[in-house]
Structure 1
Amino acid sequence: MIQKAVEASADEDGRANLARVGDHLAKQSPDFDARNYGFARLSDLVKASGILEVERTGEHPKVVMVRLQKR
């Protein structure tokens, strides 16, 4: 589900803003919540998934960008 949300939200470089990924997940599955998987935030869940590269940029607010890991 996360992989599909990243693919749907990604730019031409394959990077997606995690907030947009979260929006896509909420639209596709309104009952989705990272807390159901034992994580306080979506960013914690995607880091633990092992399928995404996570990059934080900016200061206030921090922007979290994700990309599917290359196989």
Structure 2
Amino acid sequence: MHLKEHGVAVYGFGDAKTPAPFQSACTRFLVLDQLELPDDGEDDPGDGGGEVGDASPGDGDAARPTAKKAKKTAKKTADTTATKKAAPPERATRAQLRGDGRLVALLRRAVASASDDSGWARIGTVGQRINNQSSFDSRNYGYAKLSKLIETSELFEVRGAGTADMAVRDPRAR
């Protein structure tokens, strides 16, 4: 919180069960169990190919971690989750987005603080305001972009959807 208050970007990573106070103390918090793992294209990390850092038999340093051992450990961890890739988060539906009171309040505050005299707020400015207020990440709701999440929620009027000039307005503020 001290770092964030002094303008330093604080990135947090963890599971969905990470305590809310920690998540909100971060500039951005990513829920790792909902993100996809990269596919490195290797099927068998223990294929016997020589790698830098591999321990040779009898070199007296068998306890030292090696690149090959690290890959095996990563492979075992991935196998224990039953799939090589973590399941991407399911996209939240319109009803789920509207039913999340904290999300709705966050979006409405951000739009209100970023809006001009006519009530319209550019999506980029809304995103900046959200980042200043919380550790929100639209990917945790299954949306790659904030704009798609806002469109799906149908909480706001949208102008110029899909363009760099996209703007939103809270119809209740009229």
Structure 1, unpaired ranges of 5+: none
- How do residues 56-71 of structure 1 correspond to structure 2 at under 5 angstroms? 56=160, 62-70=164-172
Stretches (4+) displaced over 2 A = none
One-letter code aligned to 1:24: R
Partner of residue 151 from structure 2, selected from 47, 54, 58: 47
- Structure 1 stretch displaced more, 48-57 or 6-15: 48-57
CA RMSD, aligned part only?
Answer: 1.8
Query: Comparing both structures, which one devotes a greater share of its residues to strand?
Result: 1
Q: For residues 11-34 of structure 1, what are the alpha-carbon distances to aligned partners after superposition, in whole Å with 9 as ceiling and x for unaligned?
A: 0100001100000000000x2111
**Higher RCO, Cα 8 Å, sep 6+:** 1
Q: Corresponding residue for 1:26?
A: 131
- How far the C-alpha of 1:54 sits from its partner, in A, is 1.1
Give the total of aligned pairs.
Answer: 67
Distance 1:49 1:69 in 2: 13
Distance 2:136 2:125 in 1: 14
One-letter code aligned to 2:125: R
One-letter code aligned to 2:169: R
> TM-score, length-normalised on structure 1?
0.85
* Residues 1:14 and 2:119 aligned together: yes
- How far the C-alpha of 1:49 sits from its partner, in A, is 1.1
> TM-score, length-normalised on structure 2?
0.36
* Residues 1:3 and 2:105 aligned together: no
Partner SS state of residue 54, structure 1: strand
